[in-house]
Amino acid sequence: MDSNFDLEKILDTDEIVAEASEIIEETIEKNRLELIALKKSVGEEYEKSKAKSNSESKIRAEAEAKRLMKGFDRLAEDFLDTTRVAREGTKMAARADRLMEGKGLELGSWGTVGGFDVLTEGDKDNGGKGGLLGSVAAADERARTAAARRMDQDGEEVKEWDSKILIICDGKKDAKMQRVLDCFTTLLSTSSLPTTTTTNYLPTAILPMGGDGAQTLIIVSSSLSNGRSSAESMLARLLKRSLPTGGGAILPPPSHLVVLSSVGSSRTDKFPYSMQNLVGGGKLGKMYEVEECIVSTVKGRMVLSDGIRGVPSDYTVIKFGELVDDTEVAKKNKGNLDSESHDHSVTIRPGDSLDGAVGIQAAANVLLQTVAIQPNARNATMSVIGGMTTADGGNIMWEDAFLRMDGPELWRIEEKDLWNNGNGNEGDADRAFATMTTYLEEWSAIFDNGAMGTGLTTPVTVVSPKLKVFQGGDEDTLLPSIRARWSLRLEFKATRTGSAYKSKSEEKQAERERNNISTPRSSSSTSNSKEPAIKITKANKEGGVEILVEKTTRKDGLIGIRVRARRCNMSDFTVVKEISEETIVKRVQEALTAWKKS
């Protein structure tokens, strides 16, 4: 009885478990279906909400965009109004470039002096004394002829160019330099030069595209607060070709870039300029950056490309001493005289080589000579100190001062220190000239064996001496004070040092190239392959020293003799050999001492 009860009980329990499991499974499935339905419902509600939100956002975004565009329109209108002149200049520049087919006019190509383009022909209406700036006529005529041909094609009116100078200066930053420029403008207007207009701009102003047809650009380096970056952005605009606003002929960019700077700008590692640069917040360093930018820009525009010369330009860097009134120069420069100047008069030397003060009038006169009269001022860096005196201002004085830039000059000895009979007698001067040149020609034989026994670190080649006698009015000389000139050149030979040095691998490569060129090729090989290309290169200029003996007209009108030494055989890539130059100058001095004793 008990066993049957237990079996029934167990059977009832199994049924209950099975029913419970079925109920649980049904419940879980129901819940799963409810969750799926809920998920679907939530998803639909989310999509509806998202669509509604997107629609509202789109409406808000469109409204915001309309509001912003109205603001942009106002800003654009204001911008176009304020930059109308600049944009017109840019369009004209692009049009000029198309008309020129990428090639610039040569207006402002100022003839050729020492391999550089400068103006050398005087103004015909002014007795041939128009100066450099005034003699735009020759290059201008060439440009007008070319423009006239374009007028036939384009139907545009040809416009004649006026003599213009564009000046970039902030007078508030450098009031003394502004005084120099004011004085310069006065000198220009009262001189015998053709009428020349000057236009002044602040560095922060919108500068005219292409310089508005100015032939000369004068930049005060102290006015460019950011140094090189300011100069680069300024030149990028001023050196563009452009057309005048009213149409007409193409206006070329300025061809002579003049930088007014300060002595010591390239000597900031030496006292007292290191202290001045430190106290001035790096002012001298930034001025030097402007100088370098101008020089590199001009040299870059002189590069030949596919046989076509770049737009010709000249540069001049003038480093003035401390600017003071001319009456204060003697007091400022006391005990600080150049060895060849004893009266505090204007002194000009190549490079950054002088210390002292310069008068306002003196600085203005130097600027006038640089811009309009002296061709040797082109492509040169010079230092200026001293003031104008009663004895200053003559043509011979200025010619002699700027003659030092040619080369540049390394050394000179004047008549008073050269021979005892410097009495101005032309017969005595002729005899001294003849005996001295004969002696120096024989003396040059010591260099025939290269550098051996001369003290030179670089051997030289002696170029046969040349003699030229200048007659009155001779067009071959730009210096009427020189009556005769004898020259002897000692040109440095190429050595395997510096830029000419070749590594072992470079030498092997050069030898392989030579062997490929010199090895004869069989007929079968030549039929199937090309001959190796022979690279023809121009020999680099290694530099040198030219010794000059000159018979001159002195300041007092009498005849004199002088000897000078200057650099020669130079290019932009020539490494200056200062030690060898100094050695040659020393040997010349010794030779002249021996001649004087004989």
Q: Please report which confidence band the pLDDT of residue 339 belongs to, taking 50, 70 and 90 as the band edges.
A: very low
- Which residues constitute the domain of residue 561? 415-498+539-597
Q: Please report which confidence band the pLDDT of residue 559 belongs to, taking 50, 70 and 90 as the band edges.
A: confident
Round to whole Å and give the CA distance between 104 and 470.
Answer: 37
* 315 lies in the same domain as 367: yes
Residue 327 counted as domain residue = yes
Query: Is it the case that residue 260 has pLDDT exceeding 90?
Result: yes
Regarding predicted confidence, which is higher, 318 or 137?
A: 318
**Burial level of 351, CB count in 10 A (0-12/13-18/19+)?**
middle
pLDDT digits (tens, 9 = 90+) for 400-423: 899 999 989 999 998 776 766 656
* 400 lies in the same domain as 455: no
Contacts of 245 (CB under 8 A, 6+ apart): 85, 88, 89, 92
Q: Please report which confidence band the pLDDT of residue 249 belongs to, taking 50, 70 and 90 as the band edges.
A: low
Report strand pairing: 482-492 vs 460-469: antiparallel
Q: Quick check: 566 and 380 in contact, CB under 8 A?
A: no
pTM of the full predicted structure?
A: 0.68
Round to whole Å and give the CA distance between 360 and 368.
Answer: 12
pLDDT digits (tens, 9 = 90+) for 406-465: 989 999 998 776 766 656 677 888 888 999 999 999 999 988 876 677 788 888 999 989
pLDDT cut 90: percent of the chain above it: 32
Query: Is it the case that residue 297 has pLDDT exceeding 60?
Result: yes
Q: By C-alpha distance, which of 547, 586, 529 is closest to 463?
A: 547
* 385 lies in the same domain as 452: no
Q: Quick check: 499 and 573 in contact, CB under 8 A?
A: yes
Regarding predicted confidence, which is higher, 16 or 358?
A: 358
Residue 298 counted as domain residue = yes
Residue 227, phi-psi category: left (phi > 0), alpha (psi -120 to 50), beta (remainder): left
Residue 171 pLDDT = 92
Residue 343 counted as domain residue = yes
CATH number for the domain spanning 121: value is 3.40.50.720
Tokens of 435: 């005996």
DSSP annotation of 573: T
Residue 229 pLDDT = 92
Report strand pairing: 196-201 vs 163-168: parallel
Regarding predicted confidence, which is higher, 565 or 414?
A: 565
Q: How many domains does the chain have?
A: 2
Round to whole Å and give the CA distance between 556 and 560.
Answer: 10
Looking at 384, 405, 426, which one is the last position of a domain? 405
Alpha-helix runs per DSSP H in 373-498: 395-403, 426-443
pLDDT digits (tens, 9 = 90+) for 52-64: 766 666 677 677 6
Residue 514 counted as domain residue = no
Q: Quick check: 280 and 221 in contact, CB under 8 A?
A: no
Q: Please report which confidence band the pLDDT of residue 499 belongs to, taking 50, 70 and 90 as the band edges.
A: low
Looking at 405, 437, 464, which one is the last position of a domain? 405
Residue 81 counted as domain residue = no
* 469 lies in the same domain as 570: yes
